[in-house]
Structure 1
Amino acid sequence: MNDPVIELRGATKRFPSGTGQAHTAVRELTMQVSAGEFVAVVGPTGCGKSTTLSLVSGLEPASEGEVYVRGERVRSIPRGVGYMFQNDAILPWRSVLDNVAAGPRYRGASRSAARATAATWVERVGLAGFAKYYPHQLSGGMRKRVALAQTLVNEPEIMLMDEPFSALDVQTRSLMQDELLRLWAGTGAAVVFVTHDLEEAIALADRVVVMTASPATVKDVFAVPLSRPRNVEDVRLTAEFLEIYREVWESLRVEVARAREEASRVG
């Protein structure tokens, strides 16, 4: 592995709980991601996958341990980080074009320059004919394309993606997965992609990180030796994909069962 652009060293995060005691979301988390690498993170529901992204983005400080981006310890939001959330952050009073132009504008670009850059990305995500539309006029898949353009317009070196396609129907989700791979290819950006969908993780990633049941830590890391470029529907039908799936699921299913048992016990 090349020098990592993201590195977590024994990172632990605790949050206050309603009982007055701290809740540990992740514990002793150690992970590295290199430039141009696509890493998917899977684990049981509520184990702390999203917290991992919050630590890398600087939205939450580690309670213990250290988090580094480009070799510098994370103490605030690092430059060059794009974050795509499960719920899109599209502003309802702005058109598609102006939503995408917002990032460059916040970074000091003139209105005309920001809109010119945004227009390029609106076209790249297949929405050139909808640049003047408003969010309420768009389908779910189109809104996700806007959110993807919002993330990529700033040319991030690191892309953090928190179940960005989970609310989409199966067909639209597959299309967006292919769109993401197409737009990411050649950018050199490091991607950390959190998902509950193991098929999605394997179809997209270079490596799949399996997290334990809460409080989460890294249990296993699996390489995905599937060639690129990939078509997600085609790759899911290959023998290589099924072999990797069985191997990763064997590790993940144990943690899913543990999480269910713990939920039943607490309930």
Structure 2
Amino acid sequence: MTTPVIELRGATKRFPATGSGTHTAVRDLTLTVAPGEFVAVVGPTGCGKSTTLSLVSGLEAASSGDVLVRGEPVRRIPSGVGYMFQSDAVLPWRSVLDNVAAGPRYRGVGKREARSRAHAWVERVGLGGFAGYYPHQLSGGMRKRVALAQTLVNEPEILLMDEPFSALDVQTRALMQDELLRLWAGTGAAVVFVTHDLEEAIALADTVVVMTASPATVKATFPVPLERPRDVEEVRLTPEFLEIYREVWDSLRTEVAKAREEASRVG
């Protein structure tokens, strides 16, 4: 069997609560991700999906249980991990090209080589004519392309994505989903993609993981046996997609209802 590139074994994360005590964000998480696998994580708002990414990335340490990357316990940010946040991480005082070149430069790559790699990725994301532009001169979709190039220029083995397209309009979001699949294909990178959008999860992923209402744990895992390459708009219209959607939603909607009831009670 293939050794998982990511493995969580009974991982729990607690934070200090307001006033006193602790808040459990996730509990007893058990999850594996194989090399090259695209895993989408869905669950109710505030259930701990982003915390899961923080544990894998080393930005947060587990309170108990094990978090492993390539079979090694995560003690710090592992090498070969790219993280794409919901908010753009572009630097406003740098051009598109220099934003993309920044990652390789921080990793010790010479200026000429870093700019060469950055130029190739700026071209790949369709921004070749905008290399000298600054973030304030770009549309939201173009900024997301810069963020993708920033992440992929470092050739990550693991790509963590926290609702990266949620702020985009519907049309631009669909374009970026297709762009992500095109750029990811053939890289061999494992992807963990957090989203509130079940359609997005199924259209992109090999596997959809449903998490419970807070504190989150893995409720169910669903394979997505849709052929690749995929056109996200076309695949949504197929009977196979609708069948998978109904199956996953049957599991997810119970947790969404629990989360709403808890929010109403606390409110």
- Between the aligned partners of 1:25 and 1:131, the Cα distance in structure 2 is 41
Name 2:120's counterpart in structure 1: 120
Q: What SS does the aligned partner of 1:164 have?
A: coil
The one-letter amino acid of 1:92's match is: P
Q: What SS does the aligned partner of 2:141 have?
A: helix
The residue correspondences of 1:97-246 to structure 2 (distance < 5 A) are 97-246=97-246
Name 1:47's counterpart in structure 2: 47
Name 1:32's counterpart in structure 2: 32
Name 1:261's counterpart in structure 2: 261
What displacement does 1:177 show? 0.2
- Between the aligned partners of 2:127 and 2:239, the Cα distance in structure 1 is 35
- Between the aligned partners of 1:95 and 1:216, the Cα distance in structure 2 is 40
Q: TM-score, normalised by structure 2?
A: 0.99
Q: What SS does the aligned partner of 1:55 have?
A: helix
Name 1:252's counterpart in structure 2: 252
What displacement does 1:154 show? 0.2
Instruction: Name which of structure 1's ranges 192-201 and 105-114 shifts more when overlaid on structure 2.
Output: 105-114
- Between the aligned partners of 1:186 and 1:110, the Cα distance in structure 2 is 26
Q: Which runs of 4+ in 1 moved over 6 A?
A: none
What displacement does 1:19 show? 2.4
| RMSD across aligned positions (CA) | 0.5
- Between the aligned partners of 2:188 and 2:34, the Cα distance in structure 1 is 9
Name 2:7's counterpart in structure 1: 7
The one-letter amino acid of 1:261's match is: E
Give a deviation string over 1:108-165, Cα, whole Å, max 9, x none: 1111110000000000000000000000000000000000000000000000000000
Q: Equivalent pairs: percent with the same residue?
A: 83
- Between the aligned partners of 1:88 and 1:224, the Cα distance in structure 2 is 29
User: Structure 1: where are the runs of 5+ without partners?
Assistant: none
- Between the aligned partners of 2:31 and 2:254, the Cα distance in structure 1 is 21
- Between the aligned partners of 1:2 and 1:137, the Cα distance in structure 2 is 45
Q: What SS does the aligned partner of 1:4 have?
A: coil
Alignment size in residue pairs:
267
